[in-house]
Amino acid sequence: MHKFKKGDTVTVFYMHPSKGLMIEGKATVVRRVADVDEQYGVTFHDTRTGETPGEEYERFVDAWGQADPKKYVREFNKKIGKS
């Protein structure tokens, strides 16, 4: 189920093979990906992500981690033994 709409600012997470869940960066939702829950086209705000600002990327956006992204990452990684 899609929870975000075009124009929403979200935190994008990614799973690093050895470090666990990490924050990829802040992004703006530009579109929903049809038939894939929680998948969006986004543009990143910051060049530190390694992505080109303004260019669209498809990403999974985890609704559970939006309120407090750093706490969410800490708790998630603790559960999977990556803390």
Q: Which amino acid is at 32?
A: R
Structure tokens at 76: 């998630």
- Nearest CA to 82 out of 34, 29, 15 is that of 15
pLDDT of the residue at 1: 64
**Domain boundary assignment for the chain:** 9-79
Angstrom CA distances, 72 to 13, 47, 58, stand at: 10, 23, 21
Q: In this predicted structure, what is the pLDDT of residue 67?
A: 95
What would the pLDDT profile of 16-75 be if each residue is shown by its tens digit? 999 999 999 999 999 999 888 899 999 998 766 666 667 899 999 999 999 999 999 999
Per-residue model confidence (pLDDT) at position 82: 87
Query: Which residue did the predictor score with more confidence, 1 or 61?
Result: 61
63: DSSP letter? G
SS3 31: strand
